[in-house]
Structure 1
Amino acid sequence: MKLPNWRDKTIFVTGATGFIGGRVCERLVMAGARHVRALVHSMHRAARIGRLPIELCPGDLLDLASLRSALGDSKIVIHCGLGNARAIVRGTENVLGVAAARSVDRFVHMSTTAVYGISPPPGCETEQAPLRRSGDGYCDNKAKAEGAVFKFARRGLPAVILRPAIVYGPYSAWSTRLIPALREGRVALIDGGRGACNTTYVDNLIDAVFLAIENQCALGKTFFITDGETITWGDFIQAHVAMLGQSSDLPQVSKEEAIAYYKNRPGLVLGSMKAAGSVLRSKEFRRLLMQIPVSQRILAGAWRWLESLPEGKRARIRSRVGVRRQVLSVQNGRFMPDEITVATQTSTVFFRIDKAREILGYSPRVPFAQGIRLVERWLRFANYI
């Protein structure tokens, strides 16, 4: 049984200025949705969706008054919002509460396969695998957010949870960060690139969103959403190497080598305190700062935050502080991937989409070979290559 005439209903999208949420808005317009309300936390990030015939609603997931106003009389909610740890959990609870109070017809929650950790262990290939605390803040908070959705679903909220994996496509940071990293020699194939990548082309994911809205049989269920292909990290990285016309002979690092490298470094707290003393006494502050394990993580996080900002704002910050990205970890003059990259790219788990095929009627229509060509066209258009 399908939800009738859902395109005629008011549809509310959170995280609308992000990569996935932005494409949701575009596809809704393309599909003929009559009224789309987009929650916008920062208007300066709304350029991509600002050209669309949709309503931009200023608000914050953590501000209930603005959330109630933005959601309005919407009957369908597509929750793609992220943010910090509090926004992931409390923000999701807030959206759920307002949606339930307004008796929405459908609540589609955008989760992630990362609820099983950065490096999902064998045994979680299907949605039946129980969630366990991984120790990573993002992963564990996304799992908590899922728990909130299930709680409201048990109370009658018509909710569906989607768990995409490595979502790529135009505007995706997986490509916009990989291209400059390849140019600067900051990429190595870990274990020969054999790790499971679990690609999900963004339009395949949006197809699943629409199916989740339509299909009554999906209510109260979770679904893995991928391209359904056994794409490895080597496949994904080498596809970008080919775009640049570079040699496919990339540096090789084993998982064991990387783990040993980080294990043999000073303990995080004690080593940081000792290194901090050296830095404070040295005239070469910036150079020595990179010897502090904690500072490396902080600087890596700061760089990821900087890269998430609009180009104009990034340029202003760079000009003020003279920031340049540096290779954070080098061994014998060779780039060493950070711990998160090692964990991400060495999982051997390929998530199965049998459940999505059977219940949602999901069938990935954009294969990886086509998706990566579309990414290349966009990267050239956007002057990344």
Structure 2
Amino acid sequence: MQVKKKDTILITGGAGFIGSNLTEYFLSKEYKVICLDNFATGHRHNLKDFINNPNFRLIEGDIRNVEDCQNAVKGVDYVLHQAALGSVPRSINDPVTTNDVNVSGFLNMLVASRDAKVKRFVYAASSSTYGDSIGLPKVEDVIGKPLSPYAITKYVNELYAEIFSRTYGIETIGLRYFNVFGRKQDPNGAYAAVIPKFVMQLMNQESPVINGDGNFSRDFTYIDNVIQMNELAMTTANPKAINTVYNTAYGDRNTLNDLVGYLKEFLAEFNPEIANVEIKYGPNRAGDIPHSLASIDKAKELLGYDPKYSLQEGLREAVKWYWENLR
């Protein structure tokens, strides 16, 4: 699909970590970008650099409100749906709200996008969909049973997207994100992701607490790899590449012990005392899968995906950003 400059993109959750990075990128490419956010987990400071950009428009609204969704998709060519309540622990503590946002809100956006005849609906799926599947690497068409309410909601998103593609002809692509990290990721709050949380603790010379013995492994994925995948999914002209899902990852795995070791090493370049911070260990977290590793062969073959940032390369960039912006 040939995307023209000045096409309009709606980014739901555009004030969040991934959404604000996508917003910044596509504005730099001279697209018109509409951000829909209710600021439940997103932040206004993530939008401050482009709030006055003539190609940017903010709609403060909630995907659980059908009228907000209908208003947001008016005149829109493409939807990048990032809005969701993330976090496995949050979904265990409050499954009803997680379902309202992630399932009902998702369905509202699909219906609004269908009715507005958007060209393509690209949405944030999740590696949690693999559930109790023990095979590695994770391949898109082999999944297990979900291990959390959050995982259920993200799998339901994929089912709805497939049905809407078949029934209504709307083009959809799901991106199963694997442990995304990078600039603008929030280090604060009860459900903060592990990398920004550990970075802030280490910068304050506080001991991070790893859940379990630190040997659980993840396919940590830098934000710029995710931006590349969203752009490829939005612009691909390959008919075989649409109405399906893709792993969005680097294709390598590192343990949590590896991760903390890299963080200490890179942060110690700014403050040598960080190298001496003790690491503590706690109980395993409910709903966590032991190991995660993505096959990215499908994305490479059908989309031309070529991730540029390994964990170490991405962590160097992320650590520098946190040191310069949040210290």
The TM-score range, normalised by the shorter chain, is 0.7 to 0.9
Partner secondary structure for residue 7 of structure 1: coil
Partner of residue 162, structure 1: 175
Contact 2:207 2:277 in 1 (8 A): no
Partner of residue 149, structure 1: 161
Partner of residue 189, structure 2: none
Contact 1:111 1:164 in 2 (8 A): yes
Please say if 1:112 is aligned against 2:88: no
Measure how far apart 1:61 and its partner are: 0.4
Please say if 1:89 is aligned against 2:103: yes
Please say if 1:42 is aligned against 2:16: no
Q: TM-score, normalised by structure 2?
A: 0.82
> Matched residues in 1 for 2:256 and 2:5: separation?
37
Partner of residue 196, structure 1: 217
Give the letter for the 1:66 counterpart.
D
Measure how far apart 1:50 and its partner are: 3.6
> Matched residues in 2 for 1:185 and 1:92: separation?
38
Partner of residue 350, structure 1: 293
Measure how far apart 1:196 and its partner are: 2.2
Partner of residue 95, structure 2: none
Question: Equivalent residues in 2 for 1:263-302 (5 A)?
Answer: none
Partner of residue 61, structure 1: 63
Please say if 1:10 is aligned against 2:8: yes
- Distance change >3 Å, CA 198–CA 248, structure 1 → 2: farther
- Distance change >3 Å, CA 186–CA 235, structure 1 → 2: closer
> Matched residues in 1 for 2:76 and 2:103: separation?
22
State how many pairs are aligned.
292
- Distance change >3 Å, CA 149–CA 238, structure 1 → 2: same
Please say if 1:238 is aligned against 2:261: yes
Partner of residue 363, structure 1: 306
Greater share of helix residues, 1 or 2? 1
Partner of residue 32, structure 1: 30
- Distance change >3 Å, CA 42–CA 196, structure 1 → 2: closer
Measure how far apart 1:372 and its partner are: 1.0
Please say if 1:175 is aligned against 2:184: no
Q: Please list the CA deviations of residues 269-323 of structure 1 after superposition, one character each: whole Å capped at 9, or x if unmatched.
A: xxxxxxxxxxxxxxxxxxxxxxxxxxxxxxxxxxxxxxxxxxxxxxxxxxxxxxx
> After the TM superposition, which parts of structure 1 deviate over 6 Å for at least 4 consecutive aligned residues?
none
> Matched residues in 2 for 1:14 and 1:120: separation?
30
> Matched residues in 1 for 2:326 and 2:244: separation?
41
Please say if 1:339 is aligned against 2:277: no
Identity of aligned residues (%): 23
> Matched residues in 2 for 1:109 and 1:45: separation?
20
Contact 1:189 1:250 in 2 (8 A): no
> Matched residues in 2 for 1:6 and 1:112: separation?
29
Q: Please list the CA deviations of residues 107-141 of structure 1 after superposition, one character each: whole Å capped at 9, or x if unmatched.
A: 10111101123x6532671001035233x111111
Contact 1:189 1:234 in 2 (8 A): no
Q: Which has the larger radius of gyration?
A: 1
> Matched residues in 1 for 2:294 and 2:67: separation?
39
Question: Could you tell which deviates more after superposition, 224-233 or 73-82?
Answer: 224-233
Contact 2:133 2:144 in 1 (8 A): no
Partner of residue 271, structure 1: none
- Distance change >3 Å, CA 224–CA 174, structure 1 → 2: same
Partner secondary structure for residue 82 of structure 1: coil
Give the letter for the 2:23 counterpart.
C
Question: Equivalent residues in 2 for 1:205-220 (5 A)?
Answer: 205-217=226-238, 218-220=241-243
Unaligned runs of 5+ in 1: 252-334
CA RMSD of superposed structures (Å): 2.2
> Matched residues in 2 for 1:189 and 1:248: separation?
17
- Distance change >3 Å, CA 350–CA 77, structure 1 → 2: same
> Matched residues in 2 for 1:87 and 1:359: separation?
31
Partner of residue 227, structure 1: 250
Unaligned runs of 5+ in 2: 86-97, 186-192, 269-273
Partner secondary structure for residue 79 of structure 2: strand
Give the letter for the 2:114 counterpart.
A
Contact 1:58 1:70 in 2 (8 A): no
Partner secondary structure for residue 209 of structure 2: coil
Partner of residue 247, structure 1: 276
Alignment counterpart, residue 146 of structure 2, candidates 133, 155, 159: 133
